A and B are shown apart, each in its own frame.
Chain A
Amino acid sequence: MKIDVKQDLLSLNNAVAAENRALFNSKNLFTINIMGSPGAGKTTLLERLITQICNDAVVAVIEGDLATARDAQRIAACDVPVIQINTDGGCHLDAEMIAKVVKGFDLAQTDLLLIENVGNLVCPAAFDLGEDLRMLVLSITEGEDKPGKYPTAFMAADVVVLNKMDLKDYLDTDTESLIADILAINHNIKIFSTSCRVGKLEGMEDLAAYIVDAMRLKKQGKIKRG
């Protein structure tokens, strides 16, 4: 005999993500899921953003990585609360991992939770964590073919940050066509260009202002996801 099941394999993750989202909403907390390849500059961008934003918002950070607490140590040096999750080889963070660790923060006193996902351009996008905003960090050193090769990552993102712009003159990457390709995949995506290089910082004010704005809109009850 044959029975219909029709049950989503991600239903468990999606249910926990919905609980996370409800918790974050009840605490008026704005959350960003930061994704991108290993080495794109996610942790460095967080370090710069925290410096830029800390006067406007109380920030907390979750660092996801296969192993080691190195990124968490870098963030802790910025003087914000940080919790490291090691996935032991797992290619993505899931909603359950987030649910387990957020209890370690004083959420009521936090405005902005930044979550650095495991370095991977494919898998994290499939796992909702309960975030408000999905940010993809792509460094221009990765080449302009990445949107075409990993289109689903760009489809799932709300914001893409083109990082390492300080290296533009040393590379043959055609950033104009890179941007056009990204917009063809996702016309709603917001694109920022940044350099996190000390002495050549670029684009931090714009990105920080966008995040602070989105955070305020949420506090006023004007945006709600999920």
Chain B
Amino acid sequence: MHEASLMENLLSIAQESLSGYNVIKINCMSVKAGRLANILPDALRFAFQSLAAEPFAGARLEIEVLPITARCLDCGTEYQSMNIPLVCSHCGSNVAEILSGSEVYLDSIDFDEK
């Protein structure tokens, strides 16, 4: 499980993104993780609680797991799936090109300014 090293990256990205603002309190940070990224939301939350210092400590961490998006190589349908093996929603084929699902990113930060 590498949630701790991802959290270190998240905190440094957040720090950088906020550098131009006069932050007094961070309310919420929103993370999106593709199904293929193998992120355990609980492990990520635990890493946040262990690693977050002021002003991040106490903020809410919102984690959304995004489905895999794929294109069927038999019939061309684009579809989404949380399950593997992928099964085309139109023709049932397993054969697909993966369009997204490995990403894990800090989507947005909600905070109060002075």
> Would A1 and B111 be within 8 Å (CB), given that A91-B1, A184-B94 are in contact?
yes
Number of residue pairs A-B, CB distance < 8 angstroms: 85
CA distance A218 to B113 in the complex (A): 53
- From A5-13, A24-32, A51-59, A157-165, give the one contacting chain B: A5-13
Q: Is the CB of A6 within 8 A of B109?
A: no
Q: Is A45 an interface residue (CB 8 A)?
A: no
Question: Nearest Cβ distance between residue B86 and chain A, in whole angstroms?
Answer: 8
CA distance A122 to B104 in the complex (A): 15
Q: Is the CB of A2 within 8 A of B98?
A: no
Which residues of A are found within 8 Å of B77, using beta-carbon distances?
Answer: none
Q: Is the CB of B2 within 8 A of A2?
A: no
Q: Is the CB of B9 within 8 A of A10?
A: yes
Q: Which of B31, B94, B105, B108 contacts A3 (CB 8 A)?
A: B108
Which residues of B are found within 8 Å of A184, using beta-carbon distances?
Answer: 85, 94
Chain B residue at minimum C-beta to C-beta distance from A123:
B2
> Would A5 and B14 be within 8 Å (CB), given that A12-B9, A126-B2, A187-B95 are in contact?
yes
Q: Is the CB of A155 within 8 A of B109?
A: no
> Would A9 and B110 be within 8 Å (CB), given that A123-B38, A126-B38, A155-B36 are in contact?
no
Chain A residue at minimum C-beta to C-beta distance from B12:
A12
Q: Is the CB of B109 within 8 A of A122?
A: no
Interface of A is mostly: mixed
Q: How many residues of A contact B (CB 8 A)?
A: 30
Which residues of B are found within 8 Å of A152, using beta-carbon distances?
Answer: 36, 38, 84
Q: Is B69 an interface residue (CB 8 A)?
A: no
Q: How many residues of B contact A (CB 8 A)?
A: 32
Q: Is the CB of B2 within 8 A of A7?
A: no
Q: Is B57 an interface residue (CB 8 A)?
A: no
Q: Which of A2, A8, A185 contacts B109 (CB 8 A)?
A: A2
Which residues of B are found within 8 Å of A151, using beta-carbon distances?
Answer: 84-85
Give per-residue flags for A119-143: 1 if the beta carbon is below 8 A from chain B beta carbons, else 0: 0001101110000000000000000
- Interface of chain A residues 75 through 90 with chain B (CB within 8 A): 90
Chain A residue at minimum C-beta to C-beta distance from B6:
A9
Q: Is A106 an interface residue (CB 8 A)?
A: no
Binding site for A on B (CB under 8 A): 1-2, 5-6, 9-10, 13-14, 17-18, 21, 31, 36-38, 84-85, 94-95, 98, 102-113
- 22 A-B pairs within 8 Å (CB atoms) are namely A1-B111, A1-B112, A1-B113, A2-B110, A3-B108, A3-B109, A5-B13, A5-B105, A5-B108, A5-B109, A6-B105, A8-B105, A9-B105, A10-B9, A10-B104, A11-B13, A92-B2, A125-B38, A126-B2, A155-B98, A156-B36, A156-B102
Further contacts, 5 of them, CB under 8 A, given A9-B106, A94-B5: A4-B108, A7-B17, A9-B105, A91-B1, A126-B38
Listed from nearest, the 3 A-B pairs whose CB atoms lie closest are: A151-B84, A184-B85, A2-B110
